[in-house]
Chain A
Amino acid sequence: MGIFPEQFADIEAVGAPWALASYNDRQAKRHASTMAELETFYETVFPRSQEVLAYCNSFDIDDWPDEVKALMNMLYSLVLVSFAVEVWKQPRVPDTGAASFEAFDEPAV
């Protein structure tokens, strides 16, 4: 039994590990990943992202079931990883060796 709805079972193996509930966790995973891992995630999930978003849009935002929360958390990771893949071509923002941001207040979902 997966954490994604059945129609997205095919992207679950790659996508579910990125369904992390906080920015800090998503960023830590990005920084701990190789470029090949980030590209695999991006290339697997991006082609299905419109469908995922349309599915999530069919639920009331104040009452998201766990599977929608998981999908949205994966999409938040996709946003983060897209910068590494589309813009920087490396996991970290260039020339940011010492800088690290910590989210201290963010929406619950």
Chain B
Amino acid sequence: MKVERPKKPDIGSWTEQYPHLGTADVDYTDSVCPEFYERERDAIFRKAWIHVGRVEELPRVGSYFTKEYKVCDTSIIVARGQDKKIRAFHNICSHRGNKLVWEEFPNDETRGTTRVFQCKYHSWQYNLDGTLKQATREEEFFNFDRCRYGLAEISCDVWEGFIFINLDPTPEQTLKEFLGEMGEGLIDYPFHEMTQAYCFRAHIKSNWKVFADSFAEAYHTPYMHGKMSPEMAEDMVMADGIAFKMMGMHNTTSFRHVPSDIEQATPIEQLTQCGLYGPWKKPDLGGNLTPPGQNLSNHPDWGIDSHQIFPNFAIIIWERGWYHTWQFWPLNVDEHIFECRQYFVPPKNASERLAQEMATITTREYAAQDANTLEATHSMLKARIKTHLPLCDQELALRNLHYHVNEWVNGRRPGAVAAE
């Protein structure tokens, strides 16, 4: 079966709509060069707003979770205070520098509910707003002023229930400014109704951008994943983006729904009433299901939107009424942690629960193919035999990411430009 070819812009391609990106081969030494990675750490990961979780993870006063932020050699506590406000702190005790919140293994992330954060070393206690509640044997210290020894707070803000942090003590842009048109385009989408979370991660031996690139194009889909989607393998164009929009360093790409995924269902898809695009039965959702940033061309066969939020986060919204996020947490130039979180409306019965299980396993089976290929890609990029790589029109979002990573590394980030 053949689908209608997506109509490209009059200029001839999606890419040429953005002349600053050019059409030349893209220099991939930015993904293998240790010096470049060092510059990314300060220029991007200490300056940009970075997603760390959802508000539903902090349901009550005293709820908290920790996030390892190895790219900047820190760990972060995100907590809901007595005043219900969500705050973030460096996870370090002011006394002797011990990691404040952890269980069993210092490098493992943890979560829970508490009234105070108490250090395991000398039992210093901190309130949920980061102030020092009590230093044990305070009289032994010299000219001790409790106010001086609160936790180091990190800028923290929330957009549509997604919690972001910024390591810059005085961020050049607010989160709203940083997200710009991308953020406005998804206002009131009912993310908060999809609270049933299925999350998985993997340690990947590739630069973080190499994986971000892999999920930013569907050109590879019919080839790498042909066995899971024979229809796409029959008509390669089916996987193509039906609309692309670069919004500064962020971007959205819309994709179509494969027409007969239900008619050609496998036995397990029939049992679970779920296929490649998620559960067949759409949940009842409130809010704005068609915000302006979604299904950019109002295509009748719209199936998926990939919203890439600079630098390392993406929200993928499915027409079937669920969404998932990708995130890439750099460890060093050659490795990162890949995290996927899938969110559904809480199931009302066993059938709905099983359909969600099918959706999450389908994603994992796909992503396992992507993940393993990255190691093969990265290991050879490191050889620097091929440094400048051709990116096609379907790979526009990759071109955009590498362009803006280089802009930021060279000090040309939007906030810095505005400040000049």
Residues of chain A at the chain B interface (Cβ within 8 Å): 23, 46, 49-50, 53, 56-57, 59, 61, 68, 72, 75-76, 78-80, 82-83, 86-88, 93-107, 109
Contacts and interface: CB of A to CB of B under 8 A. Distances in A.
B221 to A, nearest CB: 15
Interface stretch (B38-46, B78-86, B164-172, B361-369): B361-369
B373 interface: yes
Contacts of A49: 271
B372 A95 contact: yes
A101 B200 contact: yes
Interface residues of B, number: 37
Contacts of B375: 98-99
Contact of A96 (B268, B350, B353, B368): B368
A23 B354 contact: no
Given A86-B266, A101-B200, 7 more contacts: A72-B350, A86-B267, A87-B228, A94-B227, A98-B375, A101-B371, A106-B198
Q: Chain B binding site: helix, strand, loop or mixed by DSSP?
A: helix
Contacts of B199: 103-106
B369 A95 contact: yes
B272 interface: yes
Nearest to A82: B268
A39 B371 CA distance: 26
Contacts of B367: 101
A102 B354 CA distance: 20
B354 A101 contact: no
B368 A93 contact: yes
B139 to A, nearest CB: 43
5 nearest A-B pairs in the assembled complex, by CB-CB distance: A56-B350, A82-B268, A105-B199, A99-B372, A99-B371
B351 A53 contact: yes
Contacts of B271: 46, 49-50, 53, 78
A18 to B, nearest CB: 13
Nearest to B266: A86
Interface stretch (B290-298, B301-309, B341-349): B341-349
Given A87-B266, A101-B200, A102-B202, A53 B368 contact: no
26 contacts: A53-B350, A53-B351, A53-B354, A57-B350, A57-B351, A75-B357, A76-B354, A79-B272, A79-B354, A79-B361, A87-B266, A94-B227, A98-B375, A99-B204, A99-B371, A99-B375, A100-B202, A101-B364, A101-B367, A101-B371, A102-B201, A102-B202, A105-B199, A106-B199, A107-B196, A107-B353
